[in-house]
């Protein structure tokens, strides 16, 4: 008997992940199905599908007939438009004013310095005209209030909220409001505004006291950690159901990442964590690659140092602990998005929504595909008064169109990497940063292993709010039907793992 899909290659069409107790997880790359198999079956699959024994082959073919081995991810992306999978999102870069001197701030260079101003109030009518012209069929729009420190331009936020209420009633559009703030400045008026409009509040706080005060000191040298936690508690008391996200940036390893997360988690005031490495550009001759990941070619630059990579690997292994002793903690957003995609067969229609459904309005009125490119006029795609004047086609490349991505086993979860990281690493927004590839592969490996090891409790964890949150910069996600009848098959060699497990 011949096995179906004998041409498949391990690491491109499927991936084998070692688990405790001589068990192995089998991840089907082309549709995100996940199975548990024995070490013996895995050894044969490492040699190729045609090496399966007779009983394994029969069961493999039955799974193929059920649709659980079908290559649906490729077809899903081909049939999708670039704008599918995410709501319209507009980042309002309200001000360049900020009272902090963060060690890793990306806005201290390039064109940001020439934008030393606040966003004008006359931008507001153009904002809602842009929404009217570009809203997706979901009729949901996320407004991102950003800076600098956006609460220093509180009057603008208030006026947008007021205008938004009228717009929503007239147009039937749901406005999701999210602010990215350092939470050092929270006057009563700001507290009331955030609570009344049920903002999603993303607080830039880099773990515990030591790391945060080192990474994010005031411009006058002041340590702000205790004030930030106190302000978060005030906000929590004013609005107990408001979503608070701890936005951590990992800059060095003086304090281990897991310890930093734990110290902040113990305050029990944040619903979610969002954790991202600081960009640290260093020329590389070569860098070691994780299993299945890219080594850094000569001439590229790693944006994530190896010691930071290792800290992320340790964190994903410790992740289950944080669910065991907290009533508020709902997860690390990047991890929960990966789990959602694997368990529910979802496909990434881009690494983020930049240049698709996500645009940034800069203080001078220019429109960019991403907040990290503000001031770099090479990437300007329009103006608030005229709308979009350029179609950012290069931001919409499918992983199957990329020579670096088309053979990668996480290509339908990652979809090409952060354009800003890519530009700093390789000089091209479409060519992936190898160090980010290693980080993403480590995350996916860790979460797939967790799904396989922990069973139903973690698999059934609620992930309903993810689409409203800024997960992986609004990564667009394409839903599709999971082959549910495959989960009902009686199997001996390939045990399906999924929400019903």
Nearest to 15 by CA among 457, 471, 492, 442: 442
* CA–CA dist 77, 468 (Å, integer): 22
What is the reported pLDDT for 95? 94
pLDDT band at 491 (very low <50, low <70, confident <90, very high): confident
* CA–CA dist 10, 12 (Å, integer): 6
What is the reported pLDDT for 500? 42
- How far CA 311 is from CA of 108, 217, 255, 304, 471, in Å, comes to 26, 23, 10, 11, 20
The answer to whether the beta carbons of residues 284 and 300 sit under 8 Å apart is: yes
Is 80 exceeded by the pLDDT of residue 112?
no
DSSP characters over 51-100? G--HHHHHHHHHHHHHTTT--HHHHHHHHS-TTTTS-EEEEEEEES--SB
What is the reported pLDDT for 345? 86
- In three-state form (DSSP H/G/I as H, E/B as E, the rest C), the secondary structure along 256-320 is CHHHHHHHHHCCCCCCEEEEEECCCCEECCCCCCCCCCCCCCCCCEECCCHHHHHHHHHHHHHCC
Please enumerate in sequence order all residues whose Cβ is within 8 A of that of 153, keeping only pairs 6 or more positions apart, or say none: 94, 95, 97, 118, 119, 147
More confident site: 63 or 20: 63
Other Cβ atoms closer than 10 A to 335: 20
pLDDT band at 499 (very low <50, low <70, confident <90, very high): low
Give the pLDDT mean for 479-490: 61
Please enumerate in sequence order all residues whose Cβ is within 8 A of that of 220, keeping only pairs 6 or more positions apart, or say none: none
pLDDT band at 286 (very low <50, low <70, confident <90, very high): very low
Give the pLDDT mean for 222-239: 97
- The C-alpha angle with vertex 37 and arms to 34 and 42, in degrees rounded to 5, equals 105
Beta pairing class for 477-478 and 387-388: unpaired
Is 60 exceeded by the pLDDT of residue 298?
no
Nearest to 15 by CA among 4, 2, 37, 3: 37
User: 2-41, pLDDT tens digit by residue?
Assistant: 999 999 999 999 999 998 888 899 999 999 999 999 999 9
Two tokens, residue 169: 């009633």
Across the chain, mean pLDDT equals 90
What is the reported pLDDT for 281? 61
What is the reported pLDDT for 11? 95
What is the reported pLDDT for 253? 82
Give the pLDDT mean for 412-441: 94
What is the reported pLDDT for 289? 38
pLDDT band at 108 (very low <50, low <70, confident <90, very high): low
Q: Which residues of 348-368 are buried (b: 16+ CB within 10 A; e: fewer)?
A: bbbbbbbbbbbbbbbbbbbbb
Q: Looking up tokens 């702000």, which residue turns up?
A: 224
Give the pLDDT mean for 406-435: 94
What is the reported pLDDT for 134? 96
- The model carries a pTM of 0.93
User: 167-193, pLDDT tens digit by residue?
Assistant: 999 999 999 999 999 999 999 999 999
Q: Most distant CA pair in the chain: distance in Å? A: 74
For the chain, which residues make up each domain, given as ranges?
14-70+483-497
What is the reported pLDDT for 482? 54
pLDDT band at 293 (very low <50, low <70, confident <90, very high): very low
H or E segment and range at residue 383:
strand 382-383
In the chain, % of residues over pLDDT 70: 91
What is the reported pLDDT for 325? 73
Give the pLDDT mean for 112-134: 88
H or E segment and range at residue 218:
none
* CA–CA dist 443, 324 (Å, integer): 20
Two tokens, residue 141: 């729009």
User: 378-409, pLDDT tens digit by residue?
Assistant: 999 999 999 999 988 889 988 998 999 999 99
Please enumerate in sequence order all residues whose Cβ is within 8 A of that of 416, keeping only pairs 6 or more positions apart, or say none: 350, 351, 397, 399, 402, 405, 422, 430, 432
User: 442-474, pLDDT tens digit by residue?
Assistant: 999 999 999 998 767 788 888 888 888 888 889
């Amino acid at each position: 008997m011949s096995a179906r899909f004998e041409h498949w290659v391990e690491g491109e069409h499927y991936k084998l992940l070692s688990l405790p107790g001589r068990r192995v997880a089998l991840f089907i790359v082309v549709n995100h199905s996940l199975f548990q198999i024995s070490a013996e079956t895995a050894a044969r699959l490492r040699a190729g599908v045609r090496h399966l024994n007779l009983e394994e082959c029969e069961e493999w073919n039955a799974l193929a007939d059920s649709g659980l081995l079908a290559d649906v991810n490729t077809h899903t992306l081909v049939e999708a438009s670039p704008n599918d999978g995410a709501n319209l999102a507009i980042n309002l870069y309200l001000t360049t004013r900020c009272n902090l001197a963060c060690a890793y701030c990306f806005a201290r260079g390039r064109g940001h310095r020439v934008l030393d101003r606040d966003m004008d109030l006359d931008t507001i009518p153009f904002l809602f005209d842009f929404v009217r012209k570009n809203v997706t069929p979901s009729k949901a729009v996320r407004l991102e209030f950003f800076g600098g420190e956006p609460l220093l331009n509180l009057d603008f936020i208030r006026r947008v909220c007021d205008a938004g209420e009228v717009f929503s009633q007239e147009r039937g559009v749901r406005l999701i409001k999210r602010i990215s703030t350092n939470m050092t400045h929270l006057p009563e008026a700001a507290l009331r505004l955030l609570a009344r409009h049920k903002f999603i509040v993303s607080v830039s706080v880099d773990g515990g006291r030591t790391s945060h005060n080192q990474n994010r000191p005031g411009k006058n040298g002041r340590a702000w950690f205790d004030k930030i936690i106190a302000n978060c508690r005030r906000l929590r008391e004013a609005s107990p159901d408001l979503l608070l996200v701890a936005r951590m940036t990992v800059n060095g390893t003086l304090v281990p990442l897991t310890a930093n997360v734990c110290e902040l988690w113990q305050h029990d005031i944040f619903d979610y964590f969002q954790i991202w490495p600081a960009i640290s550009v260093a020329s590389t001759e070569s860098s070691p690659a994780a299993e299945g990941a890219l080594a850094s070619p000569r001439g590229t630059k790693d944006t994530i140092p190896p010691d930071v990579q290792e800290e992320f690997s340790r964190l994903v292994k410790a992740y289950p602990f944080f669910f065991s002793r907290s009533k508020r903690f709902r997860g690390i957003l990047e991890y929960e998005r990966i789990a959602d995609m694997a368990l529910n067969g979802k496909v990434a229609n881009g690494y983020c929504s930049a240049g698709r459904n996500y645009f940034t309005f800069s203080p001078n009125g220019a429109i960019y595909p991403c907040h990290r490119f503000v001031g770099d006029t090479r990437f300007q795609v329009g103006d608030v008064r005229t709308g979009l004047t350029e179609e950012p086609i290069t931001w919409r490349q499918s992983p199957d169109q990329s020579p670096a991505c088309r053979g990668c086993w996480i290509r339908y979860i990652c979809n090409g990497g952060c354009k800003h990281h890519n530009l700093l690493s390789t000089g091209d927004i479409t060519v992936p940063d190898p160090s980010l590839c290693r980080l993403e592969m480590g995350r996916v490996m860790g979460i797939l292993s967790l799904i396989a090891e922990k069973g139903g409790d973690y698999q059934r964890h609620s992930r309903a709010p993810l689409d409203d949150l800024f997960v992986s910069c609004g990564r667009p996600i394409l839903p599709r039907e999971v082959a549910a009848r495959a989960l009902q098959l009686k199997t001996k060699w390939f045990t399906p793992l999924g929400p019903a497990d």
